[in-house]
Structure 1
Amino acid sequence: MMIKRLTLLIGMAVLAACTATVPIVETKKETKPYVYIPEEYVSISCVTHGTGYIHSFAIEEPVHSGPIGGRMAGGASCGGIIAAGYALPKTWFPGMKVKVRWNRPIKGVDSWHEKTTNIMRYGEAGTITVHFFSNDQVRVVSSARYAPESPKHPIPEDALIPPPEEQ
């Protein structure tokens, strides 16, 4: 009888050990806090500085949590303003980068180029102008008051050498 009780107690202890709960470790997904950045919808244009004909171009809207990554907005050849509704932060902040794509046909064959560049410092959001220079150098500026033809535009229309790229 003693052996039966001992076997029963050992059996219950083994079963109780099997049903012991293991603590559940919850892994938290790290999320970045949402920061609202006011935007202004602006037009875009482009200027060539001795680079020849640009058939079409597009720039990617900046994503505020990372360097690049919004929708592409673009237009036809340089020289006009495209009312594209490009979303530009109202206030410039360091590290604003955009990806620029452009097509410069060579002997009738499409020749697409792409470069990521900084948006130059601006005080007030305005028309985005993409400036194309030789050797596939690109500068992107925003000017609320001055067109590329104006001497007060950040990059003069007759410039052949791009200004230094700001960080």
Structure 2
Amino acid sequence: MRFQHLFLCVVIPVLGACSATLPNNASVPIDKRSTLVTVPMTPVSIGCVGHEGVSYIHAFYVKEPFSEYMAGGISCGGTSASGYILPTQWQPGMKVKVRWNRPIKGEDNWIEKTTTIRRYERAGTLTVHFFANDEVRVVSSARYAPESPMHPLPKSVTIAPPEEE
């Protein structure tokens, strides 16, 4: 009987500890001095929008700001739940590499550019905006889809706005 009580007194706290979730933090260098700082991160969905004057985007990828992982999707027009990791709050200097394939006459035509993620208050769906002349902008919005006039960069915009620093 004592063994059963002792067993329960040991097993219950151990199982309780196993069910606890760890905070979603990562130690990442956020400046060129490579100082490690804990930055709260959150997984977000990723999608893309082709603005006026953009031909078909076959595939696209976006490199995470603080890792080498690239996430993406196939064609524009929908959201891909790809588990992209983004800081919960915007950090200065967040640049990302964007790669996309815009086939020409049936042949692959990969384009790659680096751009900043526009300032956001709260992390949300990451949307890659493709504009004419191979211009690209990246925004995160926790509330509004690109079709909404309240989105940080609405689909109705036809010319790529200047990059933010």
Aligned with 1:108 (options 97, 100, 106)? 106
1:42 and 1:34 mapped to 2: Cα distance? 23
Q: TM-score, normalised by structure 1?
A: 0.77
Shift of 1:114: 0.1
Query: What secondary structure sits across from 1:95 in the alignment?
Result: coil
1:163 counterpart residue number? 161
Partner residue of 2:143? Answer: 145
Question: Does residue 48 of the first structure (1) align with residue 22 of the second (2)?
Answer: no
Letter aligned with residue 130 of structure 1: V
**Equivalent AA in structure 2 for residue 53 of structure 1:** Y
Unaligned runs of 5+ in 1: 1-30, 64-68
SS at match of 2:97: strand
Structure 2 counterparts to residues 1-167 of structure 1, below 5 A: 32-49=34-51, 50-63=53-66, 69-167=67-165
Larger radius of gyration, structure 1 or 2? 1
C-alpha deviations, 1:97-143, integer Å up to 9, x for none?
00000000001111000000000000000000000001111000000
**CA distance, structure 1, for counterparts of residue 148 and residue 118 of structure 2:** 17
SS of corresponding position for 1:128: strand
TM-score, normalising length from structure 2? Answer: 0.77
CA distance in 2, matches of 1:33, 1:127: 28
Amino acid at match of 1:127: T
Pairwise CA distance, 1:34: 2.1
Q: Offset of 1:90 from its aligned partner?
A: 0.6
- In the comparison of the two structures, how many residue pairs are matched? 132
* CA drift at 1:32: 4.2
Aligned position for 1:10: none
Report the CA distance between 1:82 and its aligned residue: 0.4
Task: Please give the alpha-carbon distance, in whole angstroms, between the structure 1 residues aligned to 2:39 and 2:73.
Answer: 26
Identity %, equivalent residues? 64
The one-letter code sitting in structure 1 at the alignment partner of 2:46 is I
Q: Which 4+ stretches in 1 moved above 6 angstroms?
A: none
The structure richer in strand per residue is: 2
